[in-house]
Amino acid sequence: MKDIVTEKDVIAQNDESQIINVIDEFDYSTQQEDYNKHFIAWRKDKENPYAYNFVHDKKETVFIEGQGFVDTCAADAEWSVLEKILSVIGIAMLSLTLIEDVLDKVIVSLLDIMGVDIHCSFSSSVIYGGRAEVVVMLILVTVAKYAVPLYIVHSKFKMPERVRCPRSLNDPAELIATLAVTLMGSVILGVFDEYIEETRDIFTFFKGYDADVSVWGQNEFVIYTIFDILIVSIISEVLFRGEMLAVLRQFGDAYAVIVTAILTGLLTQNFSLMLGSTVIAAVSAVGTLRSGTIATAVLARVVYKVYQLVLTMIETGDFEDTARVRTIYLAIMFGVGFITFVIVFINKQRRERTIFASYNAHVSLNKKLTGTVKVLPMMAAIAVCLLAALLRVLF
């Protein structure tokens, strides 16, 4: 029987087409149902200043004194919410740089005055002194520099745990593919010696502390290495690929990946490290979205750090032909990553998968990125990171 469309149906369809509901415009099919349920509930909270939940009937206008009846604009609402979020993130980033660049040196200087065997220079990021003192200080400063911004963003955004730290693995193949790409990216970036500068500083410190004892025979080195590879990977990824990525997804996955990756790179405060750190962060973010779990980002960070450590050991080791050993290591690691990725790509039709969730953007990606650097706290955080990187080059 042929369907009959009544005049009432046409009116209802026309009315529906006049409604703008940004929550319904977002594609939630890329994540699991439990994640989507909590994410949507968080966004629908009208009392939440950080939730982009604009709903508007195009036929309605609002009276504003001095302007008369005007249409409310989805673009204005989108930018208004995004600006509030970026302000919080900017403040969090400033707190991280303050702890890393100033507070740690102040504390070390005070401890030095008090007779503790630990020293530093305000013109350098290196802390030196007793092994135990240095390791304890490094661990405390590192925990503080991530814990404080993590507390700031979490206390403000109040993202549900299932959203800020998703743990349901949608597709194991995506996790494996991310690790493979991370390994290949690490090798490509590893051709620049400066890219492993920070890892080399720590390794060299312990290696030169006691020539008769291997670094692996020094408990402090082992403790710091485990802390750096596991704990730092977890807390840093929870901050960037957890809290920040989750709240910025409202404005598009591409935007969230780009911003969190660039911030990760900037916070290295080292021009030699920025590109590599940004690339690895972007791979981790995409892998998190595609696999559905933040464990992907954490494991990618662990793979990268282990790769760095082994490369550092080779370059500072007592090999007869260091260049040859290094080349073989790079070739093997790249080969493992490449072969693994090809196998996953062949067995999984990844080309059919949507990389990012689609949504109806009322502000273009270019305008959002341009506007991001103009938000005062973000501008200040970016300026501090670039200035610190410049000072590192000059001094």
With a cut of 50, say whether residue 64 has pLDDT above it. no
With a cut of 90, say whether residue 12 has pLDDT above it. no
Q: Are residues 313 and 191 in the same domain?
A: yes
With a cut of 80, say whether residue 378 has pLDDT above it. yes
Closest CA to 193 of 332, 311, 325: 311
Domain membership of residue 2 (yes or no) is: no
Using CB atoms within 10 Å of the CB of residue 312, give its burial: 0 to 12 exposed, 13 to 18 middle, 19+ buried.
Answer: buried
Domain membership of residue 1 (yes or no) is: no
Residue pLDDT, tens place only, 239-270: 999 999 999 999 999 999 999 999 999 999 99
Q: What is the per-residue pLDDT for 300? A: 97
Q: Are residues 94 and 238 in the same domain?
A: yes
**Listed residues 74, 104, 132: the one ending a domain:** 74
Establish how many alpha carbons lie within 13 A of residue 359's alpha carbon, considering only the half-sphere containing its beta carbon: 27
- Per-residue b or e along 336-355, where b marks 16 or more CB atoms closer than 10 Å to that residue's CB: ebeebbeebeeebebeeeee
Sign, CA torsion 178/179/181/185: positive
Domain membership of residue 347 (yes or no) is: yes
Q: Which of 66-80, 88-102, 191-205 has the lowest mean pLDDT?
A: 191-205
Q: What is the per-residue pLDDT for 7? A: 46
Residue pLDDT, tens place only, 203-243: 676 666 665 456 777 888 889 999 999 999 999 999 999 99
Q: Which of 44-48, 83-87, 313-317 has the lowest mean pLDDT?
A: 313-317
Please, which residues have CB within 8 angstroms of residue 156's CB and are 6 or more apart in sequence? 50, 88
Q: What is the per-residue pLDDT for 313? A: 86
SS3 119: strand
Q: Which of 75-79, 164-168, 346-350 has the lowest mean pLDDT?
A: 346-350
Domain membership of residue 366 (yes or no) is: yes
What Å distances lie between residue 129 and 134, 136, 355, CA to CA? 6, 11, 48
Q: Are residues 93 and 63 in the same domain?
A: no
Q: What is the per-residue pLDDT for 58? A: 60
- Average pLDDT of the residues in 43-70: 71
**Listed residues 59, 74, 89: the one ending a domain:** 74
Q: Which of 65-74, 95-104, 108-117, 191-200 has the lowest mean pLDDT?
A: 65-74
With a cut of 60, say whether residue 66 has pLDDT above it. no
Q: Are residues 210 and 331 in the same domain?
A: yes
Q: How far apart are CA 386 and CA 298, in angstroms?
A: 26
Q: What is the per-residue pLDDT for 341? A: 94
pLDDT level of residue 350 (50, 70, 90 thresholds): low
Residue pLDDT, tens place only, 108-150: 999 999 999 998 877 666 788 998 999 999 999 999 999 999 9
pLDDT level of residue 82 (50, 70, 90 thresholds): very high
Q: Are residues 179 and 227 in the same domain?
A: yes
With a cut of 90, say whether residue 347 has pLDDT above it. no
**Listed residues 74, 96, 119: the one ending a domain:** 74
The model's pTM: 0.89
- Average pLDDT of the residues in 3-10: 44
Domain count, the chain: 2
Q: Are residues 154 and 276 in the same domain?
A: yes
Q: What is the per-residue pLDDT for 22? A: 92
Residue pLDDT, tens place only, 280-335: 999 999 999 999 999 999 999 999 999 988 988 888 777 888 889 999 999 999 99
Q: Are residues 81 and 67 in the same domain?
A: no
Q: Are residues 40 and 89 in the same domain?
A: no
Report strand pairing: 127-129 vs 68-70: unpaired
Q: What is the per-residue pLDDT for 15? A: 46
Domain membership of residue 12 (yes or no) is: yes
> Residue type at 283?
V
Q: Are residues 267 and 144 in the same domain?
A: yes
Q: Domain residues for 193?
A: 77-394
- Per-residue b or e along 4-17, where b marks 16 or more CB atoms closer than 10 Å to that residue's CB: eeeeeeeeeeeeee
Q: Which of 69-78, 126-135, 187-196 has the lowest mean pLDDT?
A: 187-196
Q: Are residues 57 and 170 in the same domain?
A: no
Task: Give percent of the chain with pLDDT exceeding 70.
Answer: 83
Specify the higher pLDDT residue, 355 or 47.
47
Tell me how far the alpha carbon of residue 158 is from its chain's centroid.
18
Q: Are residues 372 and 236 in the same domain?
A: yes
Domain membership of residue 158 (yes or no) is: yes
Q: Are residues 117 and 265 in the same domain?
A: yes
Please, which residues have CB within 8 angstroms of residue 246's CB and are 6 or more apart in sequence? 39, 157, 159, 163, 164
